[in-house]
Structure 1
C-alpha cells in the first residue's frame, strides 16, 4: 500500500461524507424556532387567571365579583357556609345582617385558592348563583337562618 488513494476500497481510508456539514445545524435551528413559536402560541391562548375583585354586602347575603369564572366548590358545614374558589386575591373580612342579626364573613388564602366562610350565631342555609355581567363574573349568595 502506497498512500491513501481510493482505488478499490480495500484499505482503511474512510469514504467521504457527501452530506453538507450545515445540515445538522439547520435542523437544530428549525427545531428551536418551532419550539419557540409553539410556546408563544400557547402563551397567547392561555386564559387569564381568575382574580377576586370585590365583595359586596347585600340585604340577605353577599355578591362576590371576579374578572372571569373561577372553579367553585361550596357547602354548608355545621351551619356555616364555606365556598372554595380556584382564584387569586387578597384576604378580606366583614359583617353582614341576616334577619337583623349579624354574621361574619371572611376571605382567606388556602391551598386550593380562596376560601370564603360565613359564620353566624345560628345555623345558616341558602343558595348561590353565578352569572356573567359586563365581562365580569358575579356570584350572588343568598343566606337565611335555619
Structure 2
C-alpha cells in the first residue's frame, strides 16, 4: 500500500461511494413539501376573523352587523351600557334618539376586542339579542330608562 496503483484488484484509496448524492436532496424536498402542505391545511382550518361590518341606528337602539357570531359580554355600568365583543372593526361614533332625548354611542378598540358604549344624560338600561340574519350575525341593542 505504497501508492494508488492496482495490486491484485485491491486499492490503497477507497472506491467512490455508490450511493447517490440526490438522497439528502430528496429528503429535504419531502420535508419542505410536508411543511407547505401543513401550512395550507392550517390556513384552511383557522376560523375567520369576526368583523363588525355595519352599525345601524334604529328607533330606541342600535343594530350591529357582524360577519360571524362574536363572543359578547355586556353590562349596565353606572347608568351606561357597555358591550364588549371579541371582534375587530373600525372606530365609530354617533348619536341616536330615545323618546326624543339624545343618546351617544361609540365603538372603540380595546385590548380584548371592540367596546361599544352608550351614554346619556340620564341612566340607561338595555337588552341585547343576537341572531343570524341574511347570512350575517345581527346584535340588536334596545334601550330603556
Shorter-chain TM-score above 0.5: yes
CA distance in 2, matches of 1:57, 1:3: 96
User: Counterparts in 2 of 1:81-96, with a 5 A limit?
Assistant: 81-96=81-96
Q: Which residue of 2 aligns with 1:39?
A: 39
Determine helix, strand or coil for the equivalent of 2:49. coil
Q: Secondary structure in 1 aligned to 2:24?
A: helix
Tell me by how many angstroms 1:70 deviates.
1.8
Which stretches in structure 1 are left out of the alignment for 5+ residues? none
Counterpart for residue 70 of structure 1: 70
| TM-score for the superposition, normalised by structure 1 | 0.82
Structure 2 residue matching 1:70: 3-state secondary structure:
coil
User: 3-state SS of the aligned residue for 1:55?
Assistant: strand
1:93/1:27 Cα in 2 relative to 1: closer, same or farther (>3 Å)? same
Length-normalised TM-score, structure 2: 0.83
1:54 aligns to 2:54 (yes or no)? yes
Write out per-residue CA displacement over residues 80-138 of structure 1, whole angstroms, 9 at most, x where no aligned residue.
Answer: 11112222222211112223322111112222222110001121112111111111010
Once residues 128 and 113 of structure 2 are traced to their aligned partners in structure 1, the CA distance between those partners, rounded to angstroms, is 19
Gaps of 5+ in 2: none
Cα RMSD after superposing both structures: 2.5
